[in-house]
């Protein structure tokens, strides 16, 4: 609560703005959850409104269309990934340390509402113009992972490899978690992330067994 709300029964402009942003995020999150459960095409704005106990006209105060909702959900998922890479850079360490930390955060994000929506629904149902914008962010993220891989090869921690194929192998293995992870299942997101990342970094084979 802002300081001046105690003196006035009306919320301050700042509080109103924050409340509006919170409510908009609640709309986006509820929509992402339903998209993830039953698919984008099969979700109506009526269901989103119902889950939030509001009317459809109330929704339109926060978002213009189902397309806008999906665009924003995917963008939030991508932004979470971008921010995680920035945090990793700030923490420092070797490129391998950074890569491992970025992989861990990515694996966690794809088990969360917006991250799951990024993988399970993605930008494909959107108009071409929106697709282009989101794919540009995806390409940036991909470039960051390739850069970390190249650095870790240069620092002698990773085997020499095609950074493009390595980045896609990582992205595929970790994104797939969004498809099979069940919040009600026995495996916890952190355990999945740790084990999957160890497999990717050290390989499935015992040392000396996988070379062919």
Interacting stretch for its own copies, rule CB under 8 A, among 53-61, 67-75, 129-137, 176-184? Answer: 176-184
Does residue number 170 form part of the binding site for its own copies (CB under 8 A)? yes
Does residue number 109 form part of the binding site for its own copies (CB under 8 A)? no
Does residue number 175 form part of the binding site for its own copies (CB under 8 A)? yes
Interacting stretch for its own copies, rule CB under 8 A, among 46-54, 65-73, 84-92, 191-199? Answer: 191-199
Q: For the CB of residue 39, give the shortest distance to its own copies in the complex, in Å.
A: 6
**In angstroms, how far is CA 138 from the centroid of its own chain?**
11
d(CA 61, CA 46): 14
Cβ burial, residue 69 (10 Å; 0-12/13-18/19+) = buried
7-to-4, 95, 131, 169, 196 alpha-carbon distances in Å: 5, 53, 47, 58, 54
Q: For the CB of residue 166, give the shortest distance to its own copies in the complex, in Å.
A: 6
d(CA 56, CA 47): 9
Q: For the CB of residue 29, give the shortest distance to its own copies in the complex, in Å.
A: 21
> DSSP class of residue 40?
S
Asked if residues 69 and 28 have their Cβ atoms less than 8 Å apart, the reply is yes
Contact residue for its own copies among 67, 151, 168, 189 (CB under 8 A): 168
Taking residues 111 to 130 in sequence order and writing x for each that binds its own copies by CB under 8 A, - otherwise, the string is -------------xx-----
Asked if residues 29 and 19 have their Cβ atoms less than 8 Å apart, the reply is no
- Residues forming contacts to its own copies in the complex (CB under 8 A) are 39, 41, 96, 100, 124-125, 149, 152, 156-159, 161-162, 164-166, 168-177, 179-180, 187, 192, 195-196, 198-207, 209-212
């Amino acid at each position: 609560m802002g300081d001046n709300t105690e003196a006035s029964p009306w919320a301050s402009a700042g509080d109103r703005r924050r409340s509006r942003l919170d409510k908009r995020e609640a709309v986006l999150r509820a929509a992402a959850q339903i998209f993830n459960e039953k698919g984008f095409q099969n979700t109506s704005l009526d269901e989103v409104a119902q889950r939030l106990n509001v009317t459809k006209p109330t929704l339109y105060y926060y978002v213009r269309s189902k397309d806008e909702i999906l665009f924003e959900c995917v963008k939030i998922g991508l932004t979470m990934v971008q921010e995680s890479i920035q945090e990793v850079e700030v923490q420092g360490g070797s490129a391998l340390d950074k890569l491992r930390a970025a992989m861990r955060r990515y694996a966690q994000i794809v088990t969360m509402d917006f991250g799951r929506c990024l993988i399970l629904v993605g930008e494909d149902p959107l108009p071409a113009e929106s697709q282009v914008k989101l794919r540009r962010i995806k390409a940036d993220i991909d470039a960051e992972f390739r850069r970390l891989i190249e650095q870790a090869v240069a620092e002698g921690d990773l085997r020499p490899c095609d950074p493009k194929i390595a980045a896609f192998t990582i992205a595929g293995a970790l994104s797939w978690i969004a498809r099979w992870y069940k919040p009600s299942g026995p495996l916890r997101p952190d355990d999945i992330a740790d084990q999957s990342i160890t497999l990717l970094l050290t390989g499935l084979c015992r040392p000396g067994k996988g070379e062919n």
